[in-house]
Structure 1
Amino acid sequence: MARRRRPLPPPLLVWLAVLFSAVAPAVAKTDKSDVAALNVMFNSMNKPSQLSGWKSSGGDPCDDDDEWKGIECSGSSVTEINLSGLELSGSLGYQLSSLKSVTKFDLSNNNLNGDLPYQLPPNVVELNLYGNSLTGGVPYSISQMGDLETLNLGKNHLSGQLTDMFSELPKLSTLDLSFNRFSGSLPKSFQHLKDLKTLNVESNQFSGHIDVLAKLPLEDLNLQNNKFTGWIPSKLKDISNLQIGGNQWSSGSAPPGMEKGSALEGSSGGGGRSGVNGIAIAAVVIAVLVAALILLSVLKRNRSSSSSHYLMDESGHNRSFAPLVDDGRTINMKPLEHSSSISSTTPSAMPIKPISDNEFENKLNYSRRSTDPVNLVAYSSSDLQAATGSFHSSRLLGQGTIGGVYKAKYADGTVLAVKKFDPLSFSGSSDFMDLVNSISKLHHPNISVLVGYCSEPGHYMLVYDYNMNGSLYDFLHLSDDYSKPLTWDTRVRIAVGTACALEYLHDACSPPVIHKNIKASNVLLDADLNPHLTDCGLAYFYEDPSQSLGPGYDPPECTRPSGYVMKSDVYCFGVVMLQLLTGRKPYDSSKPRAEQSLVKFVGPQLHDTNALEALADPGLRGLYPPKALSRFADVLSRCVQSDPELRPSMSEVVQLLLQCVQRTTSNRRLGGHRTVSQRSDDSDW
């Protein structure tokens, strides 16, 4: 006969109920990556007391019992962050790209500072950071936000030129960049903003024409207080709210199809249509005919000499001038030496006034006055000498093949980094200023910011923002046991940021810029451990990369200096990322011979999961997602292929790294019913 089970005594039932109620809340409702991103954001903003419910670690913002100020959720995902006007300070942090479900991100009217981060919520619809003190430029990652409708970055301290990054934003309807320090022309990709209704660029330093706006469906356009020139396109005159004062619009009659800017100056649109001035057009035609006659006369007179492009120097020899080009950028005008065979075939030139090198240099300097770099400080050598302690060895931050970098400290607390060139590196000030001009055009959140220069005879220096955490090389290889190691998330963030900087140089710059000196010591880390690639635009000095890069970095194709190509940058990037993965130096003579070269030793093992676990940097202490480690290694293995043709472009590298992040996040979300131990292998980066 079966024995009946005795019922549990009431006190035991009560005890189990209490135990269950205590354990049940331990299962968090909110997506783990969202919580981690908000934790980082909270810490970066200095843990403000006004953010009730927020925590520096852990928490459950999507749980009804754990309310976080300004956070809205849908299911387990954070969908809105609205923290406008709360007097928040600090920075935005570095993990915002993990907030995949956030569609509204509003931190307007606060006191946030630091660079506008490259990492932002990728699927945001409304991004509002108006009224802060953010610096840097517009991050290129915004170009990938296909759902973006509102972008408001007004009233900050953003600067630089806008790159052509607006082609893939079909839904953008409101764009506010007002009250910043942007310069240069409006990007041509503006013409693809077919839904743009409101554009506000008031109080910047934009210049050039605004023809790119002619066909947009604008209803509200504010161009006030810039440096725009030319005429207002006639198609913009019917905009209901048009503000254009404080620019340098062309006066007189406009070309056909356009209306003169002065007719619209200070108006809000409207106004009657001005008729085309026939007399003015006739005057233009006559002027063109006269100019053509003069040109024909000159060509006829100099037919035998001017076509050869030769000038006679004071000694009677023929000389021609051609630009010395570095990766597509004109660096200096130098005389070309010609062989006797070329000279003998030069047609007899009509007597012309000889032009000496000095006269040519003076003319060249005069023509360059209007192209001096804007928004850069011209430092005196005495000022920089005082700030660096006469370039004392204790201020030396690093020594490269083309000069040293020194720490400059000022009484007001400002700290800068000064790159001091060998005086013989340049033939003159115009040579150096060409270099400054080209570097000043490079603007990206992950590229070191050039803030000034010194151009005096024998004293040529570039002045950059100072990055307080030094170089990635120092952090990986020279840190002591007490230093804070780089976490897995931080390493991947450094990889993505550096990749984005190179993608910008290779794909967004026109012409493309090859770096030629990618190494861990040229990846600098700021206060938040965000990467900043330095030495950009200096490829001219690295004719032989094997001498500047050092052992372990040499791409296989560089058996001679001219063998360095754009895909060689990809290889060197791969070597830097291998250091992030393993914590090893690119070349270490203290290791056994088979392990001295990082690429040769680690490369063949990148697809072996078991080997990877042994190769992972011990500094990680095993705190990384194994699947993420494997995917990261797959990307790096492609970068260090011996054949340049088999390596991906930097644009592909960025996409591969981002896809890895998205894939791990997707896997974790689909695995919502797995146990905690199973989910740990699929956690986010």
Structure 2
Amino acid sequence: MNYTAAVTSGTLEIRFYWAGKGTTGNPLRGVYGPLISAISVDPDFVPPLEPVISPASGGSGIYAGAVVGIVAGGVFIILLIFGILWRRGLLGQQNTLEDDLKGVDLQTGKFSFRQLKDATNNFHKANKIGEGGFGPVYKGLLSDGTVIAVKQLSSKSKQGNREFVNEIGMISALQHPHLVKLHRCCIEGNQLLLVYEYMENNSLARALFWPEESQLKLDWPTRHKICVGIARGLAYLHEEPRLKVVHRDIKATNVLLDKNLTPKISDFGLAKLDEEDNTHISTRIAGTYGYMASEYAMWRYLTDKADVYSFGILVLEIASGRNNTSYRSKEESFYLLDWAHLLKEQGNLMDLVDPRLSSDFNKEEMMLTINVALLCCNVTSTVRPTMSSVVSMLEGRAAVQELVSDPNAATNEIEAMRKHFESSFGRKTGESQTRTASTEGPWTGSSTSAHDLYPVNPDSTYWDNRNERN
């Protein structure tokens, strides 16, 4: 049947009337008969907003238009979130760290993850010897009897692939008796590990600043030998290899001691190449509070003289047995260097010497060493000596250059540095003398500098004892 209707209100209502299913049994099981018994047409129908009824609401509901609005808004928000995640690279197929590092020449051999699990007894906590910004460090024993230190990238680490590759590339290309030796690495899936030679006597910081945790008694000849060894290692980095390197984080926790107390520089995650065709590198600041030269910390002017400054601070620590950044109040945040300048002016420089040494040391050699340290800490970077000159002075093969500096300039520079760090870190800069002397702020892109390969006693009970003390 044809039916003509004049639609005037824009909507035509067609009603279908249900007729049932007819017979279902004859002649065969099925559905017979009409489903629709009648059709009516209303050309002037105006449709109301039909509520959407929720069975759980007992008959109350919301209008279909509101539902459409809610759904559309929800879809928009979801799409917005997905767009943000996509732009940040957090969507799509997640590449493993192994995929990201494919094709990168790591210049070193590799261990399998299974080998390192076996060597560390599945990274058992009893073998844990440290916890750094990179992640935990474990002592391990290879099948051939070699003792190793396994540095594992933590899933929470902010250091990332760049610093991992940087450390491998730097240290694998550098071989020296006073640089820690990298055996191999491991890259499987999201597992990134560095395998170093094991250093029996942990870090220099532990021996100097945590005497209650260390069995080492560092006499002056040993301390002087450590100063010379570190200076030789830095001279090699700055002057000998084809690629000149600025370490950027020379400090006591980054100097390891082997069974013969031979010092070895570690942690090259922040190291930078010193391009010979440039007078300096302008770079993002990264390092450790209290060891950074002012021209680098405040103006990002980086040369190998920044390492010379850090070395000078470290030598003052070795001579005095005190942590440069330990202090009793915020005004004394450069306590050790400030104190050394004051004693120098008063002619009482020997008061800086570690009381644990008593009088059992060569006073002339001690004075020479402290004066070399102050020369390295000169406010003016160009006046600081090269590390090869430092080696010669420490070994007595060259005269110590006369320290010519304006005490007021040094004081003003220290005050400027103090204010700079206070504004950068607020109240987060200081730690007690028995804790690690490093602080990481938001102005550096790496967490390596805040922690180290061997920051604590290898004895795993240290962790429990430290937690109890804290």
TM-score class, shorter: 0.5 to 0.7
- Deviation by residue 1:307-339 (Cα, 9 ceiling, x = unmatched): xxxxxxxxxxxxxxxxxxxxxxxxxxxxxxxxx
The one of 507, 523, 544 aligned to 2:285: 544
The CA deviation at 1:619 is: 1.4
Alpha-carbon deviation of 1:402?
3.2
Q: Residue 648 of structure 1 is aligned with which of 385, 389, 394?
A: 385
SS of aligned partner of 1:384: helix
Instruction: Call closer, same or farther: CA 1:624–1:554 in 2, change over 3 Å.
Output: same
Aligned to 2:229: 497
Task: Give the whole-Å Cα distance in 2 for the aligned partners of 1:393 and 1:434.
Answer: 28
Quote the residue 2:341 is aligned against. 603
For 1:482 and 1:398, the matched residues in 2 are separated by 14
* Partner residue in 1 for 2:305: 567
Paired residue for 1:576?
314
Alignment of 1:629-668 (within 5 A): 629-659=366-396
The separation in 1 between residues aligned to 2:220 and 2:229, in whole angstroms, is 14
Q: Which whole-Å CA distance do the structure 1 matches of 2:203 and 2:210 have between them? A: 10
**Other structure's SS at 1:497 match:** helix
- The aligned residue for residue 285 of structure 1 is none
Aligned position for 2:280: none
Candidates 291, 295, 300, aligned match of 1:553: 291
State the 1:457 CA deviation.
2.4
Residues 163-178 of structure 1 aligned to structure 2 (within 5 Å): none
Distance 1:372 1:485, change over 3 A: closer
Q: Which residue among 434, 440, 454 is the counterpart of 2:186?
A: 454
Aligned-partner residue type, residue 147 of structure 2 = V
- Equivalent runs, 1:225-240 vs 2, <5 Å: none
Cα distance, 1:511–1:498 mapped onto 2, change above 3 Å: same
Output one character per residue of 1:13-32: Cα deviation in whole Å (capped at 9) or x when no partner.
Answer: xxxxxxxxxxxxxxxxxxxx
Provide Cα deviations, 1:456-500, integer angstroms capped at 9, x if missing partner. 221111111011001110001112398342111111100000000
Q: 1:475 aligns with which of 203, 207, 210?
A: 207
1:268-667 equivalent positions in 2, closer than 5 A: 373=107, 376-410=108-142, 413-422=145-154, 436-480=168-212, 483-536=215-268, 538-539=270-271, 543-545=284-286, 548-549=287-288, 551-560=289-298, 562-590=300-328, 593-594=331-332, 597-606=335-344, 609=347, 611-659=348-396
Counterpart residue type for residue 621 of structure 1 = S
How far is the alpha carbon of 1:521 from its aligned partner?
0.5
The structural deviation recorded for 1:642 is 1.7
Separation of aligned partners in 2, 1:469 and 1:581:
19
Paired residue type of 1:655? S
Seen in structure 2, the aligned counterparts of structure 1 residues 524 and 570 have a Cα distance that, compared at 3 Å, is: same
Computed over aligned residues only, the root mean square deviation of the Cα atoms, in angstroms, reads 3.5
Amino acid at match of 1:582: S
Give the AA of the match of 1:614. D
Give the secondary structure class of the aligned counterpart of 2:365.
helix
Deviation of 1:395 (Å): 3.5
What amino acid sits opposite 1:529 in the alignment?
Answer: L
Partners of 1:498 and 1:642 lie apart in 2 by: 22
- 1:38-60 Cα offsets, whole Å, 9 max, x none, are xxxxxxxxxxxxxxxxxxxxxxx
Tell me the distance in 2 between the aligned counterparts of 1:567 and 1:556: 11
- The one-letter amino acid paired with 1:447 is L
Give per-residue Cα distances to partners, 1:419-447, cap 9 Å, x unaligned.
2224576877x995675344211010010
**What residue identity is the alignment partner of 1:459?**
Q
Please give the residue correspondences for 1:93-108 in structure 2 after superposition, counting only pairs within 5 Å. none
Q: Kindly tell me: are residues 574 and 538 of structure 1, through their superposed partners in 2, closer, same or farther at Cα, counting changes over 3 Å?
A: same
**Residues in 2 aligned to 1:451 and 1:513: alpha-carbon distance in whole angstroms:** 20
Deviation string 1:653-675 (CA, Å, 9 cap, x unpaired) is: 11211226999xxxxxxxxxxxx
Aligned-partner Cα distance in 2 for 1:413–1:584? 38
Gap change, CA 1:605 and 1:447, over 3 Å in 2 = same
Instruction: Give the Cα separation in 1 of the matches to 2:399 and 2:358.
Output: 24
Task: Assess, with a 3 A threshold, how the Cα gap between structure 1 residues 516 and 386 changes in structure 2: closer, same or farther.
Answer: same
- Matches of 1:532 and 1:628, distance apart in 2: 22
**Equivalent AA in structure 2 for residue 544 of structure 1:** I
Q: Deviations over 1:357-378 (max 9, x none)?
A: x9xx99x956x6xx663xx541
Check the 8 A contact 1:552/1:598 in 2, yes or no: no
Superposed displacement of residue 599, structure 1: 1.2
Deviation of 1:652 (Å): 1.5
Equivalent-residue separation in structure 2 for 1:510 and 1:504 (angstroms): 10
Partner Cα distance (1:577, 1:431) in 2: 27
Shift in CA distance, 457/561, structure 1 to aligned 2, threshold 3 Å: farther
Alpha-carbon distance in structure 1 between the residues aligned to 2:190 and 2:125:
20
**Equivalent position SS for 1:505:** helix
Asked if the contact 1:472/1:521 (under 8 Å) is kept, the reply is: yes
1:632 shift after superposition: 1.1
CA distance in 2, matches of 1:579, 1:434: 29
Conserved in 2, the CA contact under 8 Å of 1:450 and 1:464? yes
Cα 1:433–1:484, aligned 2, differ >3 Å: closer, same or farther?
A: closer
Q: 1:591, CA displacement in angstroms? A: 7.0
**Unpaired segments ≥5 residues, structure 1:** 1-357, 664-685
Bigger Cα Rg: 2
Q: Does the Cα contact within 8 Å between 1:579 and 1:586 map onto a contact in 2? A: yes
The answer as to whether partners of 2:234 and 2:387 remain within 8 angstroms in 1 is yes
Which deviations, in whole Å up to 9, do the C-alpha atoms of 1:626-658 show, x marking residues without a partner? Answer: 111111111111111122122111122112112
Residue 446 of structure 2 aligns with which residue?
A: none
Verify the 8 A CA contact 1:472 1:525 in the aligned structure 2: yes
Distance in 2 of aligned mates of 1:513 and 1:434: 12
- Following the alignment from structure 1 to structure 2, what is the Cα–Cα distance between the partners of residues 578 and 638? 11
Q: TM-score, normalised by structure 1?
A: 0.39
Distance 1:425 1:405 in 2: 16
Going from structure 1 to structure 2, the CA distance change for 1:591 and 1:624 (only over 3 Å counts) comes to farther
Q: String of CA shifts for 1:162-184, please: whole Å, max 9, x gaps.
A: xxxxxxxxxxxxxxxxxxxxxxx
State the 1:618 CA deviation: 1.1
- Identity of paired residues, percent? 32
Local SS of the residue matching 2:310: helix
